[in-house]
Structure formats: C-alpha cells, structure tokens
Amino acid sequence: MGIQLMEAARQEGVEKFVAVGTICAYPKFTPVPFKEEDLWNGYPEETNAPYGLAKKMLLVQAQAYRQQYGFNSIYLLPVNFYGPGDNFDPGYSHVIPALIKKVFDAMDKGEKQMVVWGTGKVTREFLYVEDAAEGIVLATEKYNKPDPINLGAAFEISIRELVKLIAEIAGFDGEIRWDTSKPDGQPRRCLDVSKAKEEFGFEAKVAFREGLENTIMWYRDRLLGGLGNEDRILR
C-alpha cells in the first residue's frame, strides 16, 4: 500500500512525501540505543519481521526515487506510539492500550489477579501521541535528506515495570501473573534520537507517567460513558 501511494504521489507531482516507518524494521539484536546506521545489520525479530521488512521497503523506494526522479521523500523510524484515542481492541491493540484494557477488565469483574504474556523482562520505548505528531510535522517542515531518522523519547522501560505503573495509576492492586509460555518479542527497544534533535529540533516533551495518566483517564471516561470529553485528554 505504501509503495503504491508513493508512486501515485510521484506521478501527481507531490512536493514532498513523508514515509512513517517502524522500529520493527531494526534487527532483532540491534545494539542499544538503536542508531540509524544499524538498520541493515541483521534480520528483524521473527514475530514482526514481515511488517518491519514491508515498512523498510518504503525507505528503499524513497531513496531510489530521490536518486532517479529527484523526488523528495523522507523516512521516519518511530517507536511505539500511545495516548488518548488509541486502539483498545484486544485483537489489534499494542502493548499499552492492551494492558490498560486488561487492568480495567479485571477490576470490572472483581478479579484479584491478571495474567500478562511473557516474562516482563524485555524493554520498550514509547512516544506520546502529541509528541509524535510534533515530530512528524517538524520533519515535514525542516528535513529533506535521504537518510532515515529515529523518532522517540530516549528512554526504555521493562514490560514488568510498565504493568506495575499502569496498575498503580488505574487502581488495580491484584496479583500480576506472567505466562512465560507466550513470546516476549524483541529483547530491547530504545532509540538514539540525537539526529532528530540535530536535523529538525525535535525532543519529546511529555513525561511518561503524565502520558499514561492522560491515556488511562481518557479510557476511563469512555468506560463511564463520558463521550465528548476531548478537552480532558491533556491538561
């Protein structure tokens, strides 16, 4: 889909194309923090490799189009996004909305324990939705080079600590049980974000706990029927 969209943009004379890739494009055992120059030094983690490789082909096409047609296409490599308005469908959601829903489901049912996949030892980096939007806009306005650029918040947190923090904010005081028969995914994820700062002045601003509180509040409001409270997303 991305390849076809880029070709259509080129044919229609679009001035600039911003391709948003994924941290899943990085090799499974990339040295931490992930640097853009390590992108091709190995195969992605197996459970999301097809997605990561498909996204990485947009970088190949963007660079080829720049060379052959002079087409201005840039490529961004963001970490996991989160925030109000996220997808909380258990069949498709990512880790933070999935855990928030799991916590509230347990509290709603009066359960005293919650089961989480994996060991909890792997780490992830998360970028709040408003920071992500600002980073994409800044890159669109100021960055015009062929090299990929990381977008992140420059920190990592273990899934175990993430679950504890979500449970604490949401008010769940039950037992957390780990289903170690389920996969962990990539061992660590944390980006070197120095190039984004150097090239277009981007730095994440929203503290992780604040972002989680905003997200949990947004989800709680909708559980309680508080539709139309968009003004409460970030205060």
| Residues labelled as active-site residues | 51
Query: How many Å apart are CA 37 and CA 148, to the nearest integer?
Result: 9
Is the Cβ–Cβ distance between 45 and 99 less than 8 Å?
A: no
Q: Where are the extended beta strands (E) located within the chain?
A: 17-20, 73-78, 80-82, 113-117, 123-124, 126-128, 149-151, 157-158, 175-179
Q: Residue length, the chain?
A: 235
Query: How many Å apart are CA 180 and CA 4, to the nearest integer?
Result: 40
